[in-house]
Amino acid sequence: MQFMLLFSRQGKLRLQKWYVPLSDKEKKKITRELVQTVLARKPKMCSFLEWRDLKIVYKRLYASLYFCCAIEDQDNELITLEIIHRYVELLDKYFGSVCELDIIFNFEKAYFILDEFLLGGEVQETSKKNVLKAIEQADLLQEVSKQFFD
């Protein structure tokens, strides 16, 4: 995977994960163009599209949030669709029925969960349990530290 973007129906970027080195300027340009392209898609259109020399796999959540992945030509797009689904499941489990606000106000959690699931653009851990265990550990540590150090 080259990058993953999460954005709202209004085109506001909620999460951006870049797995290839790009300058800030390039990132902004790609984001702008791709967001425009995906937002222009009609509901019945296919989840896959070709954009520049990449394949874009996207999924719309609750009609308000778009999850968008860019993969290379030889990558398997069907399984990428399931990567998105899995990530949503993880967020769902953690936040208890995730919505856009969760991702806004707990953006760092969204990133941490993503890092446990994907790393360097590749799938790392597909067990839901294991991913969430790692995240909950952090919360636990915080809990503990609050009790002892405050």
Partner 1 sequence: CHGLEQGTGVERRGEGVELEEAEGCKSKEAEIKRINKELANIRSKFKGDKALDGYSKKKYVCKLLFIFLLGHDIDFGHMEAVNLLSSNKYTEKQIGYLFISVLVNSNSELIRLINNAIKNDLASRNPTFMCLALHCIANVGSREMAEAFASEIPRILVAGDTMDSVKQSAALCLLRLYKTSPDLVPMGEWTSRVVHLLNDQHMGVVTAAVSLITCLCKKNPDDFKTCVSLAVSRLSRIVSSASTDLQDYTYYFVPAPWLSVKLLRLLQCYPPPEDAAVKGRLVECLETILNKAQEPPKSKKVQHSNAKNAILFEAISLIIHYDRWVTPPSGAPPALLLLLPPPPPSVLKVAILAEKYAVDYSWYVDTILNLIRIAGDYVSEEVWYRVIQIVINRDDVQGYAAKTVFEALQAPACHENMVKVGGYILGEFGNLIAGDPRSSPLVQFNLLHSKFHLCSVATRALLLSTYIKFINLFPETKGTIQEVLRSDSQIRNADVELQQRAVEYLKLSSIASTDVLATVLEEMPPFPERESSILAKLKKKKGPGAGSELDDGKKDPNAEMNGGVEPTASTASTPSPSADLLGLRAAPSASSGAPPSSGNLLVDVFSDSPSGTAGLAPGTEENFLRFVCKNNGVLFENQLLQIGVKSEFRQNLGELRVHCSQLNVQTKAVEPLVEGGAQVQQVLNIECLNDFTEAPLLNIKFRYGGTLQNITLKLPVTVNKFFQATEMQSQDFFQRWKQLSLPQQEAQKIFKASHPMDSEVTKAKLLGFGSALLEKVDPNPDNYVGAGIIQTKALQVGCLLRLEPNAQAQMYRLTLRTSKESVSKHLCELLSQQF
Interface residues with partner 1 (CB under 8 A) are 13-16, 19, 21, 76, 78-79, 81-83, 85-86, 95-99, 101-102, 104-109, 111-112, 115, 119-130, 134, 137-139, 141-143, 145-146
The CB-of-42 to partner 1 minimum distance in angstroms stands at 18
The contacts of residue 46 (CB under 8 Å, 6+ apart) are none
Tokens of 15: 């999460």
CB of 98 to partner 1, least distance (A): 6
Q: Which is nearer to partner 1, 49 or 123 (CB)?
A: 123
Of the pair 52, 144, the CB lying nearest partner 1 is at 144
- Distance in Å, CB of 149 to partner 1, minimum: 8
Are 93 and 110 in contact by the 8 Å Cβ rule? The answer is no
Q: How far is the CB of 17 from partner 1 (least distance, A)?
A: 8
Q: From CA 118, how far away is CA 11, in angstroms rounded? A: 24
**Closer to partner 1 by Cβ: residue 37 or 125:** 125
CB atoms within 10 A of CB 122: 8
Query: Taking the mean position of all CA atoms in its chain, how far away is CA 27?
Result: 16
Radius of gyration of the chain from its Cα atoms, rounded to whole angstroms = 16
How far apart are alpha carbons 77 and 25 in whole angstroms?
27
Closer residue to partner 1 in complex, CB, 37/47 = 47
